[in-house]
């Protein structure tokens, strides 16, 4: 019997760039961990698939890579260990060392002064990059720090030999060693700060949770932190206040801005018994709420968890970058050795220049840019989608969305409003009031959208009150009930009775198998449905209707919207068969309400759940639209396309940079210092391109 595995969250210090994150990621992959998420900017490491028994070994393994796993008892990262401190320390010694190239002062040109200025920087770099390089080689995963360590050490050793043997200025390259270390630390610092910006969407959401609220106990008001709110607490929310947790309004009314959660820009009016979502703002009015969901159960906490989980899932395109990066370091070391051998022994260039060319090759190469290309774009894309009320479960989903061939829509509640009007009731030998009362009572046992709409249009009449002792709802069929007198009631799909009435009615009511009423129900097409269908057709995606409703109704909706492929009158099993058939022809998305269509949403390549944020079938769909406005689907397609486009641009730059820069360095056109500068800013360019996705217009 397998031990139970759980999701593990660790705080790991000592990660200074994406290179460090990749090392931990690769180590965890070797240990067969799942859903790995490593963010060096926030020192967060998250994974699953590891048992409690294996965790100490995993923790020790991460520390053996040269990092520190913090516990509640562990001290925080020391000031002198922080990347910012190391950079400023290096810069302090590097500036006067570098100045000798422009200022002709004898002290600056003294080899022992240069050695004294370079030694602290070299020792810092030796331990900073050397530690990471050693552990990466020890674990069979050589990283970029190996290249920096070799390059800086070669320049320092060469200069030291020249100093001790009094070989003259041709052997003085201390400024090269110090500048390489300082510029790479600067690049790491920029990288960390820039990557932090790509995860700002999560940061914004987490900030929302970090607020205080007013708790009411026996008419006394007490200010407490959101984390201290318990289920059942009564909270007072005043105009302008942030609603701290999910709850139900028990007193008052007002307008609530839900844009942070659902992407809906206009405030929504809420009165007594309405549900409010934590993280939204009461813009007008005063209300009292009962806390119904607190802590990790709130919609906001689930959104944060979903975004973090999504960032751990790599799109297939990232595997290309990862594969190249894994062979990159040994490949560059070989090129550097060849560069030195060819320039010195064959081209007969001076020893100094040959060495500088080889060091430049080591320093200019940048596997980090390849490592950053995909995750930074995915983080920004997921964050922008989340702010628009679109939750995407994984970078792999973004890539699937860009290659869609079919988009399958459930009709009721998806393309139509789900707010049903009863167009007509035909009764047979029974009063209409009695029929309406029976139907209202039966539909009280169902949460189906049709049931909710019918209850709004029908009232329960006391004179016809029936006590039901056994009520059962069967999906795609209807309600079956028995009363205390053993009478059997059926409110079911009109085609399922002893006689098929589906050509005339949508539902039939029978008592003891005698049909007493037939109901005709009509549904309204949702706003923006027609525009959405035109938009997806324009992207060469085939729209499909897949519904349990009868053919005439599906045909009518399809005709109004311009959909040619229709599958009507299908039960859940038949829906699955159709989804599987479409999947064989191309990548298929299924759009449904996330509850009744859960099996089809799970089976499709991409399940898209439309529905009320507080009743989401989170496990079924890969994408959850908190705002059921169909415009969100078009926004989703645009975000998917632009994110993938950004990933491709980033990968192109990362590959092109290395393909161009390495030969230039080998031929002597890029010295080690310029190479270090180029390498440091290649990462920043990739991250900057990803950050563009936060603001660019989606077209």
Q: Which active-site residues does the annotation give?
A: 410
For residue 152, CA distances in Å to 109, 124, 178, 336, 473 come to 20, 11, 8, 13, 73
3-state secondary structure of 360: helix
CB atoms under 10 Å from CB of 699, counted, come to 6
Number of Cβ within 10 Å of residue 104's Cβ equals: 8
Helix, strand or coil, per DSSP, at residue 151 = helix
CA distances from 284 to 238, 276, 614 (A): 8, 14, 22
**What is 291-344 written as a DSSP string?**
EEE-GGGSHHHHHHHHHHHHHTS--HHHHHHHHHHHHHHHHHHHHHHHHHHIII
Query: Are 32 and 48 a contacting pair, CB within 8 Å?
Result: no
Q: Shortest CA distance to 611 belongs to which of 634, 595, 588, 589?
A: 595
Tell me the backbone φ, ψ of residue 12, rounded to 5 degrees: -120, 120
| 466 burial level (CB within 10 Å; 0-12, 13-18, 19+) | middle
Q: Give CA–CA dist 173/588, Å, rounded.
A: 60
CB of 383 closer than 8 Å to CB of 202:
yes
| Beta carbons of 469 and 445 less than 8 angstroms apart | no
The beta-strand segments (E) located in 621-677 are 623-625
Structural contact between residues 143 and 136, judged by C-beta atoms closer than 8 angstroms? yes
């Amino acid at each position: 019997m397998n031990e139970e595995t759980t999701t593990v969250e660790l705080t790991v210090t000592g990660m200074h760039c994406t290179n460090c994150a990749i090392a931990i990621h690769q180590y965890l992959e070797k240990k067969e961990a799942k859903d790995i998420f490593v963010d060096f900017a926030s020192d967060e490491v998250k994974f699953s698939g590891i048992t409690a028994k294996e965790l100490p070994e995993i923790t020790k393994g991460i520390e053996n890579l040269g990092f520190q796993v913090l516990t509640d008892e562990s001290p925080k990262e020391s000031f002198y260990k922080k990347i910012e401190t190391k950079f400023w320390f290096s810069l302090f010694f590097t500036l006067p060392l570098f100045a000798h190239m422009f200022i002709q002062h004898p002290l600056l040109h003294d080899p022992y002064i240069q050695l004294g200025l370079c030694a602290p920087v070299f020792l810092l770099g030796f331990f900073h990059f050397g530690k990471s390089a050693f552990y990466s080689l020890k674990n069979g995963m050589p990283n970029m720090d190996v290249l920096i360590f070799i390059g800086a050490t070669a320049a320092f050793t060469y200069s030291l030999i020249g100093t001790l043997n009094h070989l003259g200025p041709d052997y003085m390259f201390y400024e090269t060693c110090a500048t390489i270390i300082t510029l790479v630390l600067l690049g790491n610092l920029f990288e960390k700060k820039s990557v932090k910006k790509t995860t700002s969407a999560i940061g914004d959401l987490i900030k929302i949770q970090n607020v205080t609220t007013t708790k009411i106990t026996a008419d006394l008001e007490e200010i407490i932190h959101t984390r201290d709110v318990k289920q059942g607490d009564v909270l007072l929310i005043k105009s302008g206040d942030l609603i701290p947790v999910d709850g139900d309004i028990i007193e008052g009314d007002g307008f609530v801005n839900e844009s942070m959660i659902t992407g809906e820009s206009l405030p929504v009016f809420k009165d007594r018994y309405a549900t409010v979502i934590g993280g939204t703002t009461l813009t007008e009015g005063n209300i009292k709420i009962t806390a119904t969901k607190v802590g990790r159960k709130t919609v906001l906490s689930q959104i944060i968890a979903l975004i973090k989980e999504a960032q751990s899932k790599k799109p297939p395109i990232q595997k290309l970058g990862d594969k190249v990066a894994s062979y990159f370091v040994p490949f560059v070391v070989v090129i550097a050795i060849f560069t030195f051998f060819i320039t010195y022994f064959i081209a007969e260039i001076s020893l100094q220049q040959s060495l500088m060319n080889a060091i430049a090759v080591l320093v200019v190469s940048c596997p980090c840019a390849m490592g950053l290309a995909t995750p930074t774009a995915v983080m920004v894309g997921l964050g922008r989608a989340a702010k628009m009320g679109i939750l995407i479960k994984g970078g792999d989903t973004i890539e699937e969305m860009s290659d869609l061939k079919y988009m399958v829509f459930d009709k009721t509640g998806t393309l139509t409003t789900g707010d049903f009007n009863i167009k007509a009731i035909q009764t047979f030998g029974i009063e209409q009031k009695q029929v309406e009362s029976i139907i209202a009572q039966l539909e009280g046992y169902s949460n189906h959208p049709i049931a909710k709409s019918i209850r709004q249009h029908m009232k329960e009449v006391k004179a016809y009150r029936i006590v039901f002792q056994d009520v059962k709802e069967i999906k795609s069929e209807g309600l079956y009930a028995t009363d205390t007198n053993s009478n059997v009631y059926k409110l079911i799909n009109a085609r399922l009775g002893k006689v098929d009435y589906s050509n005339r009615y949508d539902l039939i009511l029978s008592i003891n198998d005698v049909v007493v009423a037939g109901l005709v129900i009509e549904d309204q097409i949702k706003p923006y449905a027609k525009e959405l269908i035109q938009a997806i057709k324009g992207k060469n995606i085939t729209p499909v209707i897949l519904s349990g409703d009868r053919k005439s109704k599906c045909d009518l909706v399809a005709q109004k919207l311009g959909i040619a492929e229709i599958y009507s009158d299908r039960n859940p099993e038949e829906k699955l068969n159709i989804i599987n058939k479409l999947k064989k022809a191309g990548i298929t998305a299924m759009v449904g309400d996330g509850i009744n269509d859960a099996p089809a949403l799970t089976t499709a390549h991409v399940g898209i759940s439309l529905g009320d944020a507080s009743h989401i079938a989170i496990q079924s769909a890969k994408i959850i639209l908190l705002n059921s406005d169909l415009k969100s689907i078009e926004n989703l397609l645009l975000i998917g396309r632009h994110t993938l486009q950004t990933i491709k641009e980033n990968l192109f730059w990362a590959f092109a940079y290395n393909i161009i820069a390495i030969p230039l360095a080998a031929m002597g056109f890029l010295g080690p210092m310029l190479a270090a500068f180029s390498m440091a800013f290649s990462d920043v360019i990739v991250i900057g391109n990803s950050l563009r996705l936060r603001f660019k217009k989606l077209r």
